[in-house]
Amino acid sequence: MIYDSYVKLCIQQEEDTDGCSEIVNLGSAKTELYKKDDYQQYIINMVHIPHLIVGAGPVGLILGHYFKRFNIPFQIFEKQSFLSAHPSAHYLNMRTMEILDELNIQLPLENIQHFSNYVYLRRIGEQPLNSTRQLIDYKQYSYTSYAHLPQSLFVQHVQEGIRDKIQLNKEIKKIEFKDKIIKVNDDITCDYLYGCDGLNGFVRDYLKIKLIGNRDLQRFLNIHFTSKQLVNRLEQYNSMLSFIYNSDITAVIIKHRIEDGTFAIQIPLDLLTGKTDIQEVQHLKQDHVLIKNLINKTLRNQVNDIEIKSVGFWRMGAVYAEQYYKNNCVLVGDACHGMPPAGGFGMNTGIQDAQNLAYKVKEQKDLLYYQQERQQIAQDNIETALKFYKKSLDIAKSFTFDINKLKIYQSFYEKHSRFFILGWCETRGISYRIGSNLQENISE
């Protein structure tokens, strides 16, 4: 049916004009003018995937589960040869747990009590400067409880049940539109394309959809490592996050998994090196001796079984896409929003986008409803994440005694506040202008 309309369009163009240049450019045939049969053959030779999901991150996988459940024919294309091994997100909120329950997805969760606190320390082993219990069950809102699992394990388990629908090493590099058909990478057609390809993804970029907000609030060095000894050192705190403030280093240690001692450390790049240009500090990624020294500085040489898994940089922003939907291409998850980690909203918001969207597709609703509903949620969650982040900076400021570090925090704090006022008033239609660099906040 779809092929028919596509062929008809091309034939129409051929009859109307001397050629059909758009098609000639797409095919591998050498001739400038195709005959009708050639067109039919050309289209028939293409693989048609009615619903094509780009990206097998947590959001693409959850969307896939819903499509399977609703008998919506789909495939997931993932550019990498493996699913992400970085633990990144780790907190699953109650709404996400309801979705996982609806999809019958079982996860190997550890006892949440071991992850219930944020502690603020000068050094590990000492009495905390402060400790707050972060996780509270709101039984009046949900029959589920929040949970904790590193994103790398999450995707490994969530791929079960739809593994046959995931094609690895398949990168989407080209999209073209013809009538209501979407052509992808010269050899695939689809009716709907779902960009679940993350914040730096190709789909949003290709559609020229702008991000609103500040893409670059803070940059971090992000080290993923294992240490069983560190599990024991931190046992007394029951901490998910341990903020370390001493004269050597300011860092946050994220306890991802007790069973295998999986951790991550995030260190603000400017506090570490005085530089924020990632190109200038690329060498850090390869220098594992230096990285081990950094971890030892953070841990004050209290563990000696560190195994580094990966080192990367992370740009933290607070943004959402001005449009979630264009030409039958839909953005989902980080592809249409990015937010500070405070509050653990990022992955949760994306998973909940996927659920909302899947029901809209199933019920053949106008996808603009998806945009209206989910864009508002993204804005609200970004606002809350920014508030939480601001709070954590206030705490950091009260503990950091190095005046230079304090200044850096101070300037970041001001930058953040400006974003908070300008970005949000602007996007909510309130006319309010202070400062001069509004432009910086609005574009990517």
- Per CB under 6 A, residues contacting ligand FAD are 54-60, 77-80, 84, 88-91, 151, 171-172, 196-198, 201-202, 222, 314, 333-335, 341, 344-348, 350
Minimum gap (Å) between residue 40 Cβ and ligand FAD: 29
Minimum gap (Å) between residue 171 Cβ and ligand FAD: 4
Q: Where are the beta strands (DSSP E) in 45-156?
A: 47-48, 51-54, 74-77, 91-92, 117-121, 130-133, 147-148
Minimum gap (Å) between residue 123 Cβ and ligand FAD: 23
For residue 346, give the amino acid letter: G
Which C-beta is closer to ligand FAD: that of 333 or that of 423? 333
Q: Measured between alpha carbons, how far is 406 from 408 in angstroms, rounded to an integer?
A: 5
Question: Minimal CB distance to ligand FAD: which residue?
Answer: 57
Which C-beta is closer to ligand FAD: that of 20 or that of 175? 175
Minimum gap (Å) between residue 308 Cβ and ligand FAD: 16
- Could you tell me if 250 and 140 are in contact, meaning their C-beta atoms sit under 8 angstroms apart? no
Q: Three-class SS of residue 169?
A: coil
Which C-beta is closer to ligand FAD: that of 88 or that of 355? 88
CA-CA distances (angstroms) from residue 160 to 66, 72, 110, 356?
13, 18, 20, 21
Strand-pair partners of 239: 117
Which C-beta is closer to ligand FAD: that of 42 or that of 202? 202
Strand-pair partners of 50: none
Strand-pair partners of 76: 53, 166
Q: Measured between alpha carbons, how far is 77 from 83 in angstroms, rounded to an integer?
A: 11
Minimum gap (Å) between residue 17 Cβ and ligand FAD: 33
Which C-beta is closer to ligand FAD: that of 1 or that of 136? 136
Which C-beta is closer to ligand FAD: that of 55 or that of 261? 55
Of 340, 335, 379, 338, residue with least CA distance to 354:
335
Minimum gap (Å) between residue 159 Cβ and ligand FAD: 11
Minimum gap (Å) between residue 63 Cβ and ligand FAD: 9
Which C-beta is closer to ligand FAD: that of 63 or that of 422? 63
Q: Three-class SS of residue 256?
A: strand
Nearest 5°: CA angle at 330, between 317 and 104? 90
Find tokens 């949000």 and name the residue: 424
Report the side by side order of strands in the sheet with 211-226. Answer: 130-133, 117-121, 239-245, 250-257, 262-268, 211-226, 307-321, 337-338
Q: How many CA atoms lie within 13 A of 93 on its CB side?
A: 16
Which C-beta is closer to ligand FAD: that of 194 or that of 412? 194
Minimum gap (Å) between residue 106 Cβ and ligand FAD: 19
Which C-beta is closer to ligand FAD: that of 82 or that of 359? 82
| Three-state SS annotation for 284-322 | HHCCHHHHHHHHHHHHCCCCCCCEEEEEEEEEEEEEEEC
At 212, phi and psi to the nearest 5? -105, 130
Minimum gap (Å) between residue 7 Cβ and ligand FAD: 28
Distance, CA of 286 to chain centre: 24
Which C-beta is closer to ligand FAD: that of 74 or that of 202? 202
Kindly report the number of other CB atoms within 10 A of residue 94's CB atom. 18
Minimum gap (Å) between residue 83 Cβ and ligand FAD: 7
Q: How many CA atoms lie within 13 A of 364 on its CB side?
A: 0
Helical segments of 110-246, H only: 151-158, 202-206, 228-234
Which C-beta is closer to ligand FAD: that of 10 or that of 375? 375
Minimum gap (Å) between residue 306 Cβ and ligand FAD: 18
- Which DSSP letter does residue 128 get? P
